[in-house]
Structure formats: C-alpha cells, structure tokens
C-alpha cells in the first residue's frame, strides 16, 4: 500500500519498535525510585535527553519531555498568563495547537497580533517589527508549515526578537529530519517537537527551553522534568524517541537528498501529465518531499476516496482536522480561491518511498483527472 502522508505521521523505524519492546519488557521500574530498576529507567531518560540535545545543538538541561508537540506549544503559550507582558504575536497559518490556544488566552486578557502571509505562505519580517508593542511577551511562528512546507525566515525573525528582548517560540514539528536544525542558528528560546513525525512513537514529544528562562507547568504533581511536567515518565516512548532521533540524525544529508530526489521525480511527472496542476507554497524555501498541489475542478475528497480504493494514502492538508472536508484556513490566508483550495492534495514522502510507488500514484491520478 503506497503511503504518501508522512507529514501526518510516520511508521515506526524497525529499531525504534525493537527498542520500545525491549524497554517495555525489561525496564518497568519507576524512574523516581532509588532502587536498581528505577535507576535503570532514569538512565534511559537521561541518555535520550543527551541524544536529543546533541541532535539540535542544545545542552541536555534544555530538553524537556512532553506528550506531544501540541503539549509543548501549550506549555509555552499558557505561561503568558503568569507573566507581566500580556501580548503575543503569531502568524495566520499556524497549527491549531497555536491559534486555538491564543483564542483561549483572550479570556485571560492576553492580547494577540496575527501576522499575514504572502501568496507563498511567508511572513514578512517588517510586519513582525511593526506588530511589536511594549507589552509583547512572546513571539510564536512555526519553522515549517505543515500543509505547504514553506520554511519561514526564522533566523531573520529571531534577530528582530532579540533586538527587542522578546522570547521567541517556534513549532518545529515539521522540520526535524527534513532540514538541518541548530538552536544556535535558529536563535529561538523555545522549540516544540513530536516523535511520530520522524519515525518515533505517538504520544511523546519534547520541548527545547533555553537555559535560564522560566516556564510554568501545565501539569502539576510529582515534580518530574524538574517540576515542569509532572507524571511518571513514558519510558518506552522516551527510548523510542531517542532511537528515532539517533536514526534520523546520523544520515540526515542522505535522507534530505532522498526526499529531494523523490520530489523532483514526482514534480517532473506531474508537469508532463497535468499541465493545469497548480503548486502551493514557496517554490524554493520549502522542505523537501512535501508538495501541496491543486487540480482545479477535481474536488480533493473525491480524488482521495478514489485513491484510497486503490490502496494509495495521502491527504488534502493537515491531518489534525481530519474527517472534515472544508477550505483549508492556511490556503485561505495565502489568498488561494476556494475552488483551488478544495481541489488540493498534500503529498509527503518518507524514507521508504520509491520512484516505482510514485509511478503508481501518478498513473492513478491520470486515470482520475484525465480519464
């Protein structure tokens, strides 16, 4: 079954599956316990923390395990209610794990400024500069958009935030494993990640928090994760996260090259067979292997249903709003008309996809669109 929806989730890497099974069987001890099995579980947590830190150029004390990228985002945003500055800036095409939280924060007298994007999904740094107020306590702009793959100019944006001494958060869920990432290069104070986007398990993520900055916990209890995230740790999930990060990091250049080659092959096929296809997102500043394209006049829900009957899986956009076919808010904010919006497919390749599978996809699209 050809699977082309790796931006929604990825299959477990075989090594991840093996290690999680071993840890589940052999390392059941509570990591807060002082006896041998507890210490072993604790060592797994700290070993993974070091792996993650090395992968993004951070210090291990700056890595905190959470239940998801969504939880990491929430942890950063909800801390605004405890701060003196009650204004947050974000972009119009953020994930709901940012925008819906900001809507909720309005009930706590947190003001917000939503930056527009251009037709390619890019934020204009000048707009960020203009939106800053004396009361701005946080800027949150994603690194990579989950629907069109556009990479924001994070380094330029964080330069502005540093000039104004405002903490910067970025949802980097779609970036890890698809581009080189370094906390020093990005310049953000907070970064959110999710393991299931890079061949790790669901239900585990992590937050990078620059040393010296304060956050308030969402979950209060036993004091785990230096009291930032209470609750007995998901040891097998953390071990799986660490192995996934190790696997994705050790041959990252090769993986990026593989995704780029698959994308080039797919695009060349599409251009040859579908002259009316329209690509969404930035033509240059996007992560490899994530393509948003529209076939005007061919509703995506019908195309997806026909592909599914052939055993081919992809999506029309974000899977986090799955089950409801309606115009994508992201594409709307990019100025894309509803007809094009509703005829959009998102194709996202992964490590096991092949050119033969792409041939199958393009041939089936040809039967549906041109048949």
What residues are annotated to the active site?
320
Q: Which tokens hold the place of 323?
A: 């089950």
- Are residues 297 and 347 in contact, defined by beta-carbon separation less than 8 angstroms? no
Which helix or strand (DSSP H or E) is residue 348 part of? Answer: strand 344-348
- What does the alpha-carbon distance between residue 16 and residue 22 come to, in Å, rounded to a whole number? 10
In whole angstroms, what separates CA 241 from the centre of its chain?
15
Query: Residue 208: which H helix or E strand, with range?
Result: strand 205-209
Q: Report d(CA 176, CA 249) in Å as an integer.
A: 9
Residue 218 CA to residue 224 CA, distance in Å, equals: 12
Measured from the Cβ of residue 220, the count of other Cβ atoms closer than 10 Å reads 11
Q: Which two tokens stand for residue 100?
A: 């819906």
**DSSP conformation letters of 41-74:** HHHHHHHHHHHHHHHHT--GGGEEEES-HHHHHH
Residue 206 DSSP SS3: strand
Judge whether 288 and 266 are in contact, CB under 8 Å: no
**If you search the block for the tokens 């894309």, which residue do you land on?**
336
- Name the DSSP letter for residue 186: H
């Amino acid at each position: 079954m050809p699977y082309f929806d790796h931006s929604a989730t990825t299959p477990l890497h075989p090594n991840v599956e093996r290690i999680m099974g071993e840890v589940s069987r052999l390392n059941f001890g509570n990591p807060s316990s002082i006896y041998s099995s507890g210490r072993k579980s604790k060592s797994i947590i700290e070993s993974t923390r070091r792996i993650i830190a090395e992968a993004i150029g951070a210090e291990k004390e700056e890595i905190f395990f959470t239940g998801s990228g969504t939880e990491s985002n929430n942890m950063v945003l909800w801390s605004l209610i405890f701060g003196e500055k009650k204004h947050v800036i974000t972009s119009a095409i953020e994930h709901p794990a940012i925008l819906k939280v900001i809507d909720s924060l309005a009930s706590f007298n947190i003001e917000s400024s939503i930056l527009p994007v251009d037709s390619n999904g890019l934020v204009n740094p000048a707009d960020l500069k203009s939106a800053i107020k004396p009361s701005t306590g946080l800027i949150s702009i994603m690194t990579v958009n989950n629907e069109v793959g556009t990479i924001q100019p994070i380094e330029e944006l964080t330069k502005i935030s540093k000039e104004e001494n405002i903490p910067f958060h970025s949802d980097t869920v779609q970036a890890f494993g698809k581009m080189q990432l370094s906390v020093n290069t990005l310049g953000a104070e907070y970064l959110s990640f999710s393991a299931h986007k890079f061949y790790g398990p669901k239900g585990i993520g992590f937050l990078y928090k620059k040393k010296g900055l304060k956050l308030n916990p969402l979950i209060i209890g036993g004091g785990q994760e230096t009291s930032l995230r209470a609750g007995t740790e998901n040891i097998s999930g953390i071990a799986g996260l660490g192995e996934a990060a190790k696997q994705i990091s050790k041959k990252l250049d090769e993986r990026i090259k593989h995704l780029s080659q698959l994308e080039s092959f797919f695009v060349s096929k599409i251009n040859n067979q579908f002259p009316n296809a329209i690509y969404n997102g930035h033509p240059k500043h996007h992560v490899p292997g994530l393509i948003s394209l529209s076939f005007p006049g061919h509703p995506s829900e019908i195309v997806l249903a026909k592909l599914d009957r052939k055993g081919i899986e992809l999506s029309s956009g974000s899977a986090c709003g799955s089950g409801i076919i309606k115009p994508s808010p992201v594409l709307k904010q990019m100025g894309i008309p509803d007809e094009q919006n509703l005829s959009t497919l998102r194709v996202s390749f992964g490590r096991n996809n092949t050119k033969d599978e792409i041939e199958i996809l393009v041939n089936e699209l040809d039967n549906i669109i041109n048949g």
